[in-house]
Structure 1
Amino acid sequence: MDMASVYEFIEFSTIGLLSGGVLALVALSFVLVYKGTGVVNFAVGEVMMLGAYLYYAAHVSFGLGPIPAFVLSLAAIAVLAVLVERMVLRPLSGQPTVSVLMATIGMASIVHGTVEAIWGGDTFTVPPLLPRMPLNLGEVLIPGTAIGNFAVAAVLIGAFIAFFRYSKTGIALRATASDPVTAATMGIDIRHAQRLTWILSSLVGTVAGVLIATSANLSPLLASTALAAFAVIILGGLDSIVGAIVASLIVGWIDAVAAGYLGGKARDLVPYVVVLAILVMRPHGIFGTRSIERL
């Protein structure tokens, strides 16, 4: 292998690992809801898309600066999460899990249809939220957006890990996710904890959506990005934040290397083949909790 091939492999690998950071945010949005409620939220992709469109509208249509537009989109999504929790999810409390799951599918359809009704199916170029100055490491060129996005993702994920480990609220959320009945007997407000879980998940998804939209383009197809996160959360474990991070880096690396050497269409196949092969050996994921059924 000549040096040019070595540099090429390093470049593909670095870009893949950096892109895995944003993928980890998408996976984290899934994991937060699953840990807190036991439900897979199928509306994550649409929340990402809506948050990105709100950022675009605030920044481009209304002329706000990138940071105010970003904050405004986060605030709007937080309000939406509260309304959905009160009007849709709370009435379904105590119902079978599949009822809540179907509700998230219904919400996804409503959000998708609303976005297409307002903005149509056109593709928009979104002004950057972060600097796009590339990093040149000799023969290896790293896009500036990949570095900035990874930095934002790393800081946010680190903050969440610290929040859940050290803060009183984070510990309460972990207790609620682990054993809601015991948590309630200890005085923890279960409804408040679950509402906060939905809000945090929506905010994380919005950050991921904005980062993806400003790195590429914005269209309703952005919602499909969440499909890649399914491979991540299945590989890493639905209930593991650490698993989501590690699996995101693995899938991001495989995706970039496959696209670099086999072409763009390979990225739609190769990561899932690898994930399937791993799951044959570890059906509950790398860090997922093994469920035990007594007969």
Structure 2
Amino acid sequence: MSFLRCLLGGFLLAIVLSVSNGDPLVPALCIFGDSVVDVGNNNNLSTLIKANFPPYGRDFVTHRPTGRFCNGKLATDFTAEYLGFTSYPPAYLSREARGQRILTGVNFASAASGYYNVTARLFCALTLPHQLKYYRLWQRKIVNLVGRTQATNIFSGGIHLINAGSSDFIQNYYINPLLNRHYSPDEFSDILMQSYSSFVQDKGGCGYFKWIDPSLEVELLKEKLKEVEEERDTLKYKMKELGGKYDSLKQKLKEIKEERDCAKAKFKRLVVVILCFLLAKIIFE
């Protein structure tokens, strides 16, 4: 299962940047995969795997079910926001995926899909090859809308994100004796990795998909985590040090107050002595 975490680490891009000029950092965002990133394609399929009913969507912008398998936004929605898009890539099979709306990318993901095509067929979902078929149809629509030159810039400059593999295990391998008795988890993982490589390198995106080494991303995340932990420890030490200084300052203030009260008492006694002296002088004179 570690390879799934690596894939997730490699392709869930967390780009936290400010877009000062209001334009997105990339021209388009296209998404492939399973229920983790599906935004409503399964609403338009003859499948039982749907999320178009409450309580799904109760915390989303519209407070209504959209087809997302969560109560609010998906990781890809946050990714679109961080990239500077003012809207989320619509589901390709939805009514929103029309006209100018598709210029900034669309979502082809289908819940219950996976790298193992049989997984999607079991639940009447879109297989990854079928998602690629829709991707090529989308490319043709873009060419018709803006011309081949600008369309090529959109395809080559856009981000293509894929998240899959969990359904292959949870909804197929673990409950399918034809698989788990014939393949070990590692052997089945190898099959999924071969499908993944084929998707990205051989068939994927007409050359617009690029390989990202997940191990490098994981190591980078580990380094960042280590830096954060070091900063946390440093901050804790500084807070402890400041706490000691605060206690010391508090004690000094207490001492100063006591000295001030003592000085006031001495001053009062001195005033009384002077008044008595002056009064005695006046009387004797």
TM-score (norm 1): 0.22
In terms of Rg, which structure is larger? Answer: 2
Structure (1/2) with the larger helix percentage:
1
TM-score (norm 2): 0.23
Relative contact order higher in (CA < 8 Å, ≥ 6 apart): 1
